[in-house]
Structure 1
Amino acid sequence: MYKKHRVMLMLVMLFLGAISYLFSVDYAVIASDGITVVSIILAIYMTSFSSLVSSELAKKMQRKEDSELAGKSQLGVLRSYLNAAVCIGIINIIISCISMVLASKMELVVNKGVVYYIVSACGCATLAGNICLMFLLFRFMVNRQLWNK
């Protein structure tokens, strides 16, 4: 991944995590919707990557060196973005499941603990990270392949 995108991704995730913790956001309310969105995003990543593997476009991307990362092909850069997106997606699904379990166990507790809100903040942060990476991957594919930038 490009350094500017890693920094942007980390800032988005940290900012949203901190804001959701400060305002005691209950991620369990949208956790099942988050799982659905992330699952659809992961399915799109897998489908697009599997269709790319045997295409002429993949061969072209393998031969063309990336303009920002010297020594790496465009396909290698795309792979690093996909790896990050899949890892964050799986982490988000796990956090969403933990959040739903904690919410069901703590539904009678009025003052939920710090751990609960930390899990909720992590859920919000990883969901935002997934959406951010979805945008970056789309932009990377459009810019690099359609307009050759």
Structure 2
Amino acid sequence: MESTRLCTECGRQFQSRSGHSRHMRQHKGQAPYRCCGKMFFDKDKLKMHRNHIHGEAAREACFQCGKLFATRQQVTKHMAVVHNANSENFTCDTCGANYTSKQGLQDHTASQHEGRAAHACHCGKEYRHATNLYRHKKSTKHLTYNVSRQYKLCFFILC
């Protein structure tokens, strides 16, 4: 029987080496699986993405750009973020990714094209992705009640 593995960052225990490795990649911001500009920490998430975005489940199409989605709700969100004529659009000169805020574009440029950590904690730890900073703050109790209620986190990339 394998021994329990302990995360040195947050104290979480794992029965399997693969589960521990996958978890540690999240702390380090390392996502080895990639598809169409998006990064994934494990194969299952990549498979879900491929099925919903590129596979049989992807049956709803954006009428402006043709991108496929699994649900009409995802198309609606995509339309609001990518094709909204009323909001200012910030486009990455390197890869063409679109953002609705200047900060979003700056974070993207820092983490995707300059290899810098775009998100830093007051304790000194730095992360390339906001989700990893949020996990760090949550696991180390750096988030106060007010901050955690105001801190918004998007787990789904819809554009």
**Fold shared, TM-score > 0.5 on shorter chain:** no
The two structures have a TM-score, normalised by structure 2, of 0.26
For normalisation by structure 1, the TM-score amounts to: 0.27
Question: Whose relative contact order is higher, 1 or 2, with alpha carbons under 8 Å and at least 6 apart?
Answer: 1
Structure holding more helix per residue: 1
